[in-house]
Amino acid sequence: MKKLYTLLLSTIYLLPVFSTPLSNNNPDAILGNWKTGEGTAVVQIFKQGSSYFGKIVWLKEPNNPTTGKPRIDANNSDPSKRNTPLLGLVNLRNFSFHKNSQWKDGKIYDPKSGDDYSCKITMKDPNTIEVRGYIGISLLGRTDVWKRESKL
């Protein structure tokens, strides 16, 4: 009975440690390659000055199956950008680090729709980020979970 009591107390004591969110105050923890939730692309997050950006560095299907040519940004609202290749396209822009593993005040571009959205990124653990694109307020949006990709 004493062992069971000790085990229960230990569990209760450690519970807050495992239930608290990641508190990472390292702004550069986000740097690296991240596979999107659908697994169709890898985005490399990099730092430029004090801001964070991301560009597409890998596509599951880099070429258009019909033409055999590299996929392009065909849905861009700006006609002059519709021939831009998706590989190398900067789709995360101008994020700044805030406390508690969050990067905010950035924009995400969705090549599928050709639209820009406000965006925030939250690191859940060293290998998982939640990327939330939204219009207006964060409640009106969609979250995608990306996993760190160590190899391309």
* Residue type for position 4: L
Q: What is the per-residue pLDDT across 134-143, written as a single tens digit (0 to 9) for each?
A: 998 778 899 9
- Give the pLDDT of residue 17: 41
Distance CA 11, CA 91 (A): 43
Q: What is the per-residue pLDDT across 88-135, written as a single tens digit (0 to 9) for each?
A: 999 999 999 998 899 999 999 999 999 999 999 999 999 999 999 999
Distance CA 45, CA 47 (A): 7
User: Within a 13 Å sphere around the CA of 133, how many CA atoms are in the beta-carbon half?
Assistant: 13
Q: What is the secondary structure of 7-64 as a DSSP string?
A: HHHHHHHHHHHHHSPP----GGGG-EEEE-TTSSEEEEEEEETTEEEEEEEEESS-B-
23-148: CATH number = 2.40.128.520
- pTM of the model as a whole: 0.82
Distance CA 124, CA 49 (A): 24
Q: What residue segments make up the domains of the chain, in order of their start?
A: 23-148
